[in-house]
Structure 1
Amino acid sequence: MWQLIGGWKSVVFDSLKYSFLLVSYLFLFEFGRRLVRPAAESGARFKKTILFISSWQLLPAITALIIIPAMLSSDFLKMAPILSRYFLGFTGGILAGAGLLLYALRMREMLRRTEVGKWFVLAGTALVAYGILGGLFVPPGDFFPANRLNAGLFLSITGLPVQLFRALCAVGIAYGIVRILNIFTREIEEKIQSTLIENSPDYIAVISQKGGFISVNRAGALLHEFSGPWEMAGKDAVGTVIENKAGFQEALAKALKGENSVVEFRSTGKKGAKIWWNAGFSPVKESDGGIINVLCISRDITGYREISEQNRRNYEIQKISNEILGIALKALPLPEILTRIFINILSVPFLTLEPRGAIFLADNETRSLAMVAQHGLAVPIQRACSNLPFGRCLCGRAAISGRTVYSGDLDERHEVMYDGISHHGHYCVPIKSGAEILGVLNLYLKAGHKKNNDEIAFLEGVANLLAGIIIRKRDEIELKRSQERLIQSEKMSAVGQLAAGVAHEINNPLGIILGFAQSLVKRIKEDDPMAMPLKSIERETVRCTALVQDLLVFSRTSKIEEEQLDLNEALNGALSLIFARAKPRGVEILQEMSTDLPRIFGNKNKLQQALINLANNAIDAMPEGGTLTIGTLLSGRRPGYVEIQVRDTGHGIPKKIQTRVMEPFFTTKEAGKGTGLGLSLVYEIVKSHNGSLELESEEGKGTRFIVFLPIKT
């Protein structure tokens, strides 16, 4: 161009000019080689030819073809530029243009969306034209084809210098390349976005309109326990949800309508992991605004949910504990307290229980469970489970093992059955204080309910609260009994002092009356009119004397002599008298005497008298006959004691008078049929042996008296 406008000439300038020309054509050739090679690698039709032309070994060979002939010629600076144009400029332009055109052809679908395909065509065509114009229309030379096809020929044909057209081609190349760079910038941005998405800790997925996964990032694949995102492609997105499917589908539907939405749901992994998500759904739109897919960005909130759930559970535990303690403080019978507490347990939100069950209290002497509270149980099961021995059925197993028993359905351990029983499971939780079993908490589950350690831990905590309540109530009852015994003792002491005074005051006059009466009876004849009155005086005086003796026993003025006794042998002496009185009244007597009882110290006659008095009261309580059970055993409730138990099946003692039956002269019998001293004497006899007397009675079911006597060595 400089020569064209008449610039000066020099060897140095020509050398620099050629050097720039050679370097520029070398870059053009290398650019073309690198552009056209991917076309061959992607399986182009002329793969071998393209691979040969685009091979890097060709560049040194072409350079040699330029340098060697130019050095052998007479004018290197004239020959070398022409050869460089032929071998580098022409081929480089053709290769670069072909490479861009082949890339545009191969990537036409993507380029159509990005709207840069036409710039590939423009730049590729301009490069081909530049290769032809710059590589074939060379400066005139004295060898073929430069002597015929050259810039002069182009000028004579077109009337314009070839350099002008080269410049226009360069402008087209530059403009096309600048526009092409937009796609590479976009690809870089997309690569960055793809990297960010792929490395994001959030679960990011593209979901199709049909609800299938199109793509999922690595985090999503790993959280769903897949090896990689490719395993999830095409799988049903809704199918991964195990909770709140409706919410997931609703959010997906909103996104397909163009609305953004957020929803929480729980999904399951391929290996069974359960994960909670907070998911945002957004529509993916085309340039025309049409919705093609849905973008779902989800964050794992399992840890947050677990903390929230634990806080909520702690609140519920505290709430139910407060309610239980509030119920326990009310002045109610223990069965009523346990029933109310049981209903509260069934209302705990996080427990998946059936609304039925029962609470049993343990009798460690008989090793059995008695149902004292229930809710929602059918009548047959109430009857069948009213009293269960330790070891029988699930509750009995819980009592004997001291551990919670779980059952998902009816099985061989569920020994209590009845016609029409429905399938169900159980939690049977022992209520215990240390090693002592106080009862069992029985709860019903739906058949197939899975064992839940959190539920068991909560129920065992409730059982501990129940144990404290039961012990507290038991202590209250014992305290009340102790207070009643103390009051009774004080009453007896006061009455005893009075009785002692009365007995002493009337004992001597009675002796004089009895002596004179007996003396007169011996002296008169049987047919004497005074015989009957005198015998009546004698009989009633003897009865009064016996009553005075009873008063003396009651007032402790008589000394009781003790000896070492075999309790069963001592009581057997009184059984014949009891049998004689019971048989005519239609009363059956059962003996439950424990063997190998330790020996005790006591007064044989007084203990027999106490047993006879208790048995007589029991027989009188069964006017139409019944069963009288007399037994002895080593006490389980009071270690260091033996028990004498007298149990009848009579009408029972009304609760309102149970506290008075041991008071002196208190009787419910008709006038003349009882003195009211029978139970009072029993009480005093037992007390004189450092023992105690307890009463258990229920109207319509019978009465049981328990005598506790200490074991003395």
Structure 2
Amino acid sequence: MNNPVLILYLEDNPRDAELVRDKLQQIGMGCELRVAIDRAEYEAALDQTHFDLILSDYSLPGYDGMSALALARVKQADVPFILISGTLGEEQAVDCVLRGATDFVLKQRLNRLVLAVVRALAEAEEHQKHREVEEALRESEVKFRLLAENIQDVFWISTPTADRLIYVSPAFERIWGRPCADLYQPSQSFVDAIHPEDKDRVIGALQQHTQGNWNIEYRIIRPNGEVRWILDRGYPVRNEHGDLIQMCGIATDITERKKAEEELRENEERFKAIANYTVDWENWFGTDGQLLWVNPAVERITGYSLTECFAMPAFPLPLFAGEDRLEASELFQKAVHGGYGDDVEFRFVHKDGSKWWGSISWQPIFDSNGKALGYRSSIRDITKRKWTEEELKKSKALINAVVENVPHMIFLKEATDLRFVIFNRAGEELLGYDRKALLGKNNLDLFPPEQAAHFMASDHEVLDGETGMLDIPEELILTAKKGQRLLHTRKICIRGEDGTTKFLLGISEDITERKKAEDKIEGLSRFPEENPAPVLRVTAQGVLEYANPAADILLPVMGAEVGGAVNAEWQAHIGEAIAKAHPVNIEFQSGNRTFSATLAPIVDHGYVNLYIRDITERKKAEEEIKRNYEIQAAMNALLKLSIEINNEKEFLDTALNLLLSLKWLAFESKGSIFLADESKKTLHLQVHRGFSGELLAACSTVPFGRCLCGKAAAERTIQFADCIDGQHVIHVEGMLPHGHYCVPILSGDNVLGVINLYVKEGHIRDLKETEFLMAVANVFATVIERKRAEAEREKMEGQLGQLRKMEAIGQLAGGVAHDFNNMLAVINGYSEMMLMELPKSDTNYSRIQEICNAGHRSADLTRQLLAFARRQTIELKVLDMNDTVTGMLKMLQRLIGENIKLTWNPVANLWKVKMDPSQLDQILANLLVNARDAISSAGKVVIETGKADLDQAFCAMHPGSVPGKYVVLEVSDNGCGMSKETVERIFEPFFTTKKVGEGTGLGLATVFGIVKQNNGFINVYSEPGKGTTFKIYLPRHESENGEKDEMPETPEMLTGTETVLLVEDENAFLIFAKIQLERLGYAVLDASSPVNAIKLAGEYKGEIHLLITDVVMPEMSGRDLKEEISSMRPGIKTLFMSGYTKDIIARKGVLDEGIHFLQKPFTVQALSVKLREALA
């Protein structure tokens, strides 16, 4: 047990209580004993705590164990109770057990207490488990009945032989119409309800039920005679031994489903019956495009029989005319994939060879679950209609020619909404509008409201009048180019064959010039009748007494004609002017014009004169100033955001919020900003507002040219639409019609992105809005470019830091190599001396030989280390590339790691090249690092050499190459490869595809520089996923007589007798070099510093023939020491030596002419040869 056993002990004797406590400790199950000494403590303990076991003394002062037992059975009935007594007899013990005690123990036999407690606790635990099982069973039965009695289907349980039902759910009474009680009797009531035609089939199924699950449909007859369909599914229930113990099942009423299936079958039959007699050619195809059914109309329309149609491959494509067949094939492919189409016209070929026109519509077919079954198409013969259309076109062309050449304005309007459908050239010239802008519009779209209303009123007079004609001798019109003109207009109603009004025809003659001539003759001039400004007079009672002709357009606003009362609003204005007894100024709208009225009261005469001025243009100017201010404020806010926010996306998000918050713009609270990927010609959604999940998915990536946003990017111009509805390219469910501004963000020739803002449906494009959005786009372009430049600068700073780090590593490598070379010079020198002194038979000869070999290998290692640091002096040598590469293989394998296999394929008889060995090391190191980084896990790198004799044809195909003979070094890997765009840039300094901090971008640039320095060239072959191959072509080296150089034979040891001054700050190397020089016969003056050397050169009386000095020393460089001693001893020769490479010679890249250099460590033979070269 996890928790301690909690025991209550009723005992008044503390000593007895301690004895019991000691015994309980022997149980070993963690008992906690609480002692109650009297009845009060005992009752309180039972009320406060639930115990696992109760112990009680049989006899206590004022209380006894039997009373304690009775109380325990009331308060904690399930807890075991053990009596402990010193005087309990046999009859009393039996009475205790009969009254509910679990056990009794005599105090003189307390050893038995442990066993009694353990047994009592075990029995209590067993009783508790039994109670829990019974409770779980009761809950399970309740849940089962709740489920079975509330489901719509009938759940049943029967005996294994299915001869008697054990249980059936209440749904039986609703479906069968019979009481459930009947089924529990040993009768055939269940079978009797089965339809006679299905009874034998059901009985047979029941007889086979023991073999497994069964599923059967049958009919039943309810007591009222109604027939219902039942789907009955049964399954056997077996015990753990596999014996059949029950049968269970579920019976479902499927009557309605059966009715629906029957109705569907009848509908299909009816549809086929109708389709067989339709005049159109109907087809049904499967999901694979194969013909399933075609109606008989195909024989009449195409001339082919049904049999021929089914036998025809790829039916019906062969029936299309050849010029339309490809387009038809694409159409059927769309249909196979669930596309819709309506009234698409094609040419077909009849069986007799004649051509005919057909209109085809198609739609997919689905079952009730939405599963695709195929598609159907319907083809209608429209040959006659096409012929009629052609004839109508010819007739229309003739009428158009006549209308276009009439000198008067001719127009035709729709009778329903008075929109222009025809406008001739004379009308276009008169009004000054482009015809394309006029068609589809009415007078309200073109003229001031009052003038448009006048025109439309006369239109309705013609359309609604009995005569259908109207002659207007004089009609004023305001034109775009010629100003106000006077027309003589005739309007005629055009009716259709059915007598209904279809169009209104108008013919207008410009009589302006003629009328001017007439007016000039008449010479009439009246005021205020001729005053161009409206003048009116209204009485104090609100009656309009007078209005000059210019005021006629304002009468509707005042709601009165002359002699009538003005409306309530104007009466209030008149009353205010009379009450104040001085002029009152008001502004009001009439149509799309704004007017200012001065109401001047003539109080004595009881009327008010109204002088009205058109202030529309002034108001527009004021609005223009206000809008310009708001635009400037918005631009300032954008510029402020561009300074405050560093993150590009955060700026775009905040700027979009700002744009959508501008109240003076007609934008809705919905929009987005895209950034462009010009390499892929795609727009990518960056920030948005008001987009649903579906719209986000649809607009996350938009190709250039698709939708308005893509079109704005592709055409680099603002795109506007006043209405985008469900037919739009990008459409999601529930998207309401709206308008769009799509503004490209441009920087020079580059498209950086697109601003997409929503406006209300029908919004008219506004010039100021367009100019503002272009300015916003320019700000966005500047910010985006600046932030990208800042990001690029950070990237370049990181690369510069990497470069400096590599430079520091190079300095470290150079320093290590210097010290290491000094030590190697001593090791190699002494080992060579010992080899020359010992006979080969000496037992130590081979050991010293190994020391010497290890020293030379170590020297190679330092040379390779210097190749990484790019600090080795450049000294051109004739090389066998095969030997050089072979010497680097171990280092290269360590460089790329054990998971990459390195394969070396040298070509035999390879030509020589002349270059610095360290440069070849550097080329290989950089190329193999590049290959290693391109391989994600295991891979392969192959190094090969070869020979190439390049001609003019090859060089013409490979710019940068020169005809000639070349040694080829090829490095290939099976890594990730590179795209064409990457290959074009890999040799650019600082270009890298690696993450910041992982590469400087100088490795391949260095390779390129080395190859170019050696008059070679590089070809790169790479594809994404297919690896990369670098081919390096280096010119073949030939001797001056044209013969290829042979490897020089090992020179003999050259000796001399001259005096040399040896200067070296490394004491071990100084001693070694002095010994070597003396062994070669030279007299040696040795100095451990430049100061000592200068002093020695000044004090020595004899001739000093040669100065041998280290290049880098603490006090003075070797170059400066040479200059100092040369000034003291003109004509002295110099030999430089160094194991460190950051010196004057290395900085110049090659050895100066006439300067001799010996690289540490060196052999005695190399020293002897260099000495003779320097002294020559």
TM-score range normalised by the length of the shorter chain: 0.3 to 0.5
Between the two structures, name the one with larger relative contact order (CA 8 Å, sep ≥ 6): 1
TM-score normalized with structure 1 length = 0.44
Higher strand share: 2
